[in-house]
Amino acid sequence: MTTWQLGDVAVGRLGFGAMRIKAGPDRPAALAVLRRAVELGVNHIDTAAFCGSANELIREALAPYPADLVIVTKVGPGTDPERGFYNATTAAELREQVETNRRQLGVDRLDVVNLRITGDGSLAERFGWLVALRDEGLIRQLGVSNVRLEHVREALAIAPVVCVQNSYALDRRGDEDEVIRFCAEQGIAYVPFGSIADAASSAAVDAVAAARDATPQQIRLAWTLHRSPNILAIPGTGSVRHLEENVAAGKLELSATDLASLS
Ligand SMILES: NC(=O)c1ccc[n+]([C@@H]2O[C@H](COP(=O)([O-])OP(=O)(O)OC[C@H]3O[C@@H](n4cnc5c(N)ncnc54)[C@H](OP(=O)(O)O)[C@@H]3O)[C@@H](O)[C@H]2O)c1
C-alpha cells in the first residue's frame, strides 16, 4: 500500500472509517473487522465520540494500540444527555469533546483531531481553541472537516493543518477538486468520506469493474485514490469481506483509459 505523510506520521492511503460499526449484537463482527483491518496493514482509523460506540469498540479491539496506528477523531458535533445532538460553540464544549474522545479511546493525547463545522461562518475562534488544547498536550495534530477552501486557508493562517475531511465521490465532486489541489500543494491530506455509500449504479463504473474483475465499490475507491497522491480513503464497513475488498482496492491500478471513461 502506498503511504502519505499525515503531518509527522506516515499512513497507508487506504484507511478505515469506524462510524458505522456498532456495539450490541453486532459487537463481535465490529471487533473482528477492526482487528482484521490492522492485520491487513491499515494504520489510519477515523472515528469520533459522537459516532455511537466506535471509540469504545476501537479501544476494545486494538488497545494497547500498535505503535504505527493513527486514530483520527472529530469534534464540533457532540451528544449530550440533556440536549441530544449539538454543535460546539464554546471552548468549554470543545474541551469536553476532546476529553470524551481521550477517555473513550484510552489515550493521553489524541493523534489527530478534526474540527468539523457546519455552514459558511468563520472557524477561526473554534480552531484557535483546539490549538490551545494541542499546546496543552491533549492533541498531537489538527485537521478540519466539512469545510470550504476559505476555511482551510483560515485554519492554516492559525496553525498547521494535516488533513481536510470532506464529502467527495466519483459522482459527487462539487468544488472539491480545487480543495484537493490546494491541499496537495500544501502537503495536506485530503480524506474523502462517503465515496461509496449510496452511490447510484453507473454503466461506466460497472464496465471498468467487469474488465478489472473488481466490484463497483472497489472501482469507486480506486478512482478516489487515483485523483491525487494526497488522498486517503476511509471506507466504512461492518463486514470483513467488504473490508478485505476495500484494502485490495487500495492496490488496484486503473489505466488512463479506465480513468477517462470514469471521469
Ligand atoms: N466528517 C464527516 O462529516 C463525516 C461524515 C460521514 C462519514 N465520515 C467518516 O467517513 C467514513 C466513511 O463514510 P461512510 O461510512 O458514510 O461512507 P462509505 O465508506 O462511502 O460507505 C459505507 C457504506 O458502504 C458499504 N460498503 C463498504 N465497503 C463495501 C464494499 N466493499 N462493497 C459493498 N459495500 C460496501 C457499507 O456497508 P457494509 O457495512 O455492508 O459493508 C456502508 O453502508 C465514516 O466511517 C466516518 O469515519 C465523516
Quick: pLDDT tens for 209-244: 999 999 999 999 999 999 999 999 999 999 999 999
Dist. CA 16 → ligand 1 center (Å): 9
**In the prediction, which pLDDT does 181 show?**
98
The closest-lying atom of ligand 1 relative to the alpha carbon of residue 238 is 39
C-alpha span between 205 and 219 (Å, rounded):
7
* Amino acid type, 81: P
pLDDT at 1 > cutoff 90: no
- CB atoms under 10 Å from CB of 239, counted, come to 12
Q: Do residues 200 and 12 lie in contact, with contact meaning Cβ atoms separated by under 8 Å?
A: no
Quick: pLDDT tens for 5-63: 999 999 999 999 999 999 999 999 999 999 999 999 999 999 999 999 999 999 999 99
Biggest CA-to-CA distance, the chain: 54
Whose grid coordinates read 471509540?
55
Dist. CA 195 → ligand 1 center (Å): 7
The closest-lying atom of ligand 1 relative to the alpha carbon of residue 221 is 20
Q: 33 φ, ψ to 5°? A: -65, -45
Q: Is the C-beta atom of 106 inside 6 A of ligand 1?
A: no
Q: Is the C-beta atom of 224 inside 6 A of ligand 1?
A: no
DSSP state of 26: G
pLDDT at 139 > cutoff 90: yes
Which CATH architecture is the domain 3-197+229-236 placed in? Answer: Alpha-Beta Barrel (3.20)
Question: Cα 201 to chain center, whole Å?
Answer: 24
C-alpha span between 105 and 62 (Å, rounded):
10
Q: Is the C-beta atom of 20 inside 6 A of ligand 1?
A: yes
Strands 44-46 and 139-145, how do they pair?
unpaired
Which residue lies with its CA nearest to atom 29 of ligand 1?
A: 242
Percent of the chain scoring above 70 in pLDDT: 100
Q: Is the C-beta atom of 166 inside 6 A of ligand 1?
A: no
Dist. CA 70 → ligand 1 center (Å): 19
C-alpha span between 161 and 89 (Å, rounded):
20
Quick: pLDDT tens for 101-110: 999 999 999 9
Domain boundaries, the chain: 3-197+229-236
Which residue lies with its CA nearest to atom 31 of ligand 1?
A: 242
C-alpha distances (whole Å) from 66 to each of 1, 37, 127, 154, 261 are: 18, 12, 29, 34, 40
Q: Is the C-beta atom of 165 inside 6 A of ligand 1?
A: yes
